[in-house]
Amino acid sequence: MKLREKLREVAWGAQGQLTTASHFVVILARTNLRYDSDYFINHLRNVQKMPEDIIKGFSERYRDFQQEFSFIRGQACYF
């Protein structure tokens, strides 16, 4: 099965156009990213190579953002 056919099965709003489009863009989004998640902290620490004091401040700002815009209520709110 070709990639376009596999994507067509799960792509919202693209069933009619995906097989005939000359180009297409796939956007992947993590839907459970919280300021205190292991993934987020690991990314800051091991990918971004941030020092611990910067991680603390960055996490606090991200927490404030998520709380202000009500992203922390549940998983459905992230995406």
The model's pLDDT over 47-73, given as tens digits with 9 standing for 90+, comes to 999 999 999 999 999 999 888 877 666
Query: Cα separation of 22 and 10, whole Å?
Result: 19
Q: How far is CA 20 from CA 7, 15, 16, 38, 69, in A?
A: 13, 10, 8, 40, 39
pTM of the model: 0.57
Please choose, from the candidates 42, 37, 35, the residue with its C-alpha nearest in 3D space to the C-alpha of residue 61. 35
The model's pLDDT over 1-29, given as tens digits with 9 standing for 90+, comes to 688 888 888 777 777 788 788 888 888 77
| Residue 11 Rama label (left phi>0; alpha psi -120 to 50; beta) | beta
